[in-house]
Amino acid sequence: MDENELRMSSGDWYLPDYPELDELDADMVRRERGCAAYNAAEGVEERQAILEQLLGSVAELVRIRPPFHCDYGYNIRIGTGTFVNFGAVFLDVAPITIGAYVRIGPNVQLLTPAHELDAERRRAGWSKALPITIGDNVWLGGGVIVCPGVNIGENTVVGAGAVVTKDLPPGVLAVGSPARVIRKLN
């Protein structure tokens, strides 16, 4: 692993160099083929086999309705019994860890890339990504966006259309943009 790859995987700012881009391009081609095959597959068994090759780790009883899109796939880990509805986009430049029995509504986006705010550095291509962790038994309503570096505690419910910019504790209901906790759940 070169210095840029180490910085990329640790959440530090990095500037991709050309040899690294060639490897990442090859990963993206593999991912594009995997997502296309998954989205075209017709049976549960066929989809499960593709997911096991596409993603870093997929437990039993995971169901993802197509279309499904991701950046690399190998940075995604999904726990037992998780359900992901239509139109999910998981940008997994950094790790995405999803617990067991999570429910993810349609058109949910889990976005690990962070963007440089300084115009010069952004133009130069500086990038970083921060991991996302979703605890067990979380429910993300339709259209939820989870931003880089966010952790969502177990048993939390996030209302449809919320934009989660900061960590959410376990066992709460959060809504809005940006998402805010409105009450604890039993």
Q: Tokens for 119?
A: 């115009």
The whole-number average pLDDT for the span 60-86 is 96
Instruction: Give the pLDDT band of residue 20 (cuts 50, 70, 90).
Output: low
Dump pLDDT digits (tens) for 78-128: 999 999 999 999 999 999 999 999 999 999 999 999 988 999 998 888 889
pTM: 0.91
CA distance 86 to 66: 5
Residue 27 is predicted with a pLDDT of: 78
CB-count burial class (<10 Å; 0-12, 13-18, 19+) for 164: buried
Residue 116 is predicted with a pLDDT of: 87
Residue 79 burial (CB count, 10 A): 21
CA distance 24 to 41: 25
The amino acid occupying position 172 is V
Residue 88 is predicted with a pLDDT of: 98
CATH topology of domain 3-184: UDP N-Acetylglucosamine Acyltransferase; domain 1 (2.160.10)
Q: Where are the domains of the chain?
A: 3-184
Least confident residue range of 9-23, 27-41, 48-62: 9-23
* DSSP state at residue 166: S
Q: Which own/partner contact pairs does 28-34 have at CB distance under 8 Å and 24+ positions apart?
A: 28/71, 28/72, 30/73, 31/70, 31/71, 31/72, 31/73, 34/73
Residue 12 is predicted with a pLDDT of: 83
Q: Say which residue the tokens 């090759």 belong to.
A: 53
CA distance 59 to 53: 12
The answer to whether 69 is a known catalytic residue is no
* The pLDDT of residue 7 is above 70: no
Dump pLDDT digits (tens) for 144-186: 999 999 999 999 999 999 999 999 999 999 999 999 999 999 8
Catalytic choice (33, 40, 46, 115): 115
| Higher-pLDDT residue of 16, 103 | 103
